[in-house]
Amino acid sequence: MDDEQQRTHGLLFETCYRHPSVSTGVHCTRCGRPICPDCMHPAAVGYQCPECLHEGARSAPRRRIRVQFYLGRPGSVTTTLLLTNLFMFVVEVALSHGEALSGSGPHLDQTLFNLGAMQPYAIAHGQYWRLFSAMFLHANLLHIGFNMYALYLFGYLIEGAFGKARFIGIYFVTGFLASVTSYAFSDPRSLGVGASGAIFGLLGSWVAFNYRRRGSPPAAFQLRWAIMLIAINLFLGFTIASIDNFAHIGGLISGAIAGWLVEGFGARSRRAVLAVGGLAAMTIIGGILTAERTSALLAQIPRLILR
């Protein structure tokens, strides 16, 4: 058969490179080889053969799964705090035989105590590290869920507004003072856990931050929103017996002071020094209150043998 007989409507018919018995006038747009209808795969332009299709799939960039955040991606310090709290809750669940999920059971209190819950008698006998470790423990799934949502929300805002270093200072100083307030005024037989004291510290600092800018409509809105949250949470704290309102109040007040201090005042050249000095002074005041409470407890009770 000559070339003139092979041409039909201007197309030169060849045989498919994968099916030699099938004639075709279509070529792969990638490699140029002839392909029959069974081997045609639609492409952006024309058709591709199966081999080119597979080769393109291997070389195509892989899709990445992205986590969509409600506000935005939290900063590195907030993310670290979130992961640390979640890790510690997993440890609680494992050591309490799952009782940490529901918040009840014979092993839970002992597990929380062993991991560092805030227990006044234990602190009075020298275990002062509990004033910090209690900030990373939670009583049940609802407790950690609510606190971690609040930490994400206010951590995102405060870390973005103040920066990493000042955020760390606010979080740990106010968390410490929240624990000190609870230690000073709560029942010495109680067992306290939770990040809510430090979170109330963030809330207090957010109030201070927006109060300075209250002439701006966005700041005025944030201020009203924060005050509404404070009122709701304090009401719940006074009406629900299991909530440690002393820690909340201590965190809130110290947070408002810390938020005012870390932004600084006076000459710009001295603001950083005054901020660090102010947070250090707050920590010293917390240490004095802790020493006074310890002295009072040791005067009231005999020395306990802690297990």
DSSP letters spanning 132-201: HHGGG--SSHHHHHHHHHHHHHHHHHHHHHH-HHHHHHHHHHHHHHHHHHHHHHS-TT--B--SHHHHHH
Does residue 119 share a domain with residue 26? no
Catalytic residue among 96, 179, 182, 196: 196
For residue 268, give its domain range: 81-295
Does residue 131 share a domain with residue 254? yes
**107 is a catalytic site residue:** no
Does residue 97 share a domain with residue 49? no
Q: Does residue 31 contact residue 37 with C-beta atoms inside 8 Å?
A: no
Question: Is 305 domain-assigned?
Answer: no
Question: Is 216 domain-assigned?
Answer: yes
Does residue 146 share a domain with residue 107? yes
**248 is a catalytic site residue:** yes
Does residue 118 share a domain with residue 55? no
Tens of pLDDT along the chain (307 residues) come to 444 444 444 445 688 888 888 877 788 888 888 888 888 877 766 778 888 877 776 665 555 444 444 456 778 999 999 999 999 999 999 999 999 999 888 889 999 999 999 999 999 999 999 999 999 999 999 999 999 998 998 888 888 888 899 999 999 999 999 999 999 998 888 899 999 999 999 999 999 999 988 888 888 888 898 889 888 888 887 887 778 889 999 999 999 999 999 887 767 778 888 889 999 999 999 999 999 999 999 887 655 444 4
Does residue 251 share a domain with residue 106? yes
Q: β-strand 23-24 against 7-8: which pairing, if any?
A: unpaired
Question: Is 2 domain-assigned?
Answer: no
Phi, psi of 34 (to 5 degrees): -70, 140
Length of the chain: 307
If one counts the domains in the chain, the total is 2
CA distance 253 to 182: 13
**Which amino acid, 231?**
A
Does residue 46 share a domain with residue 118? no
Does residue 212 share a domain with residue 173? yes
The two three-digit tokens of residue 43, written as one number: 């492409």
Catalytic residue among 138, 182, 205, 248: 248
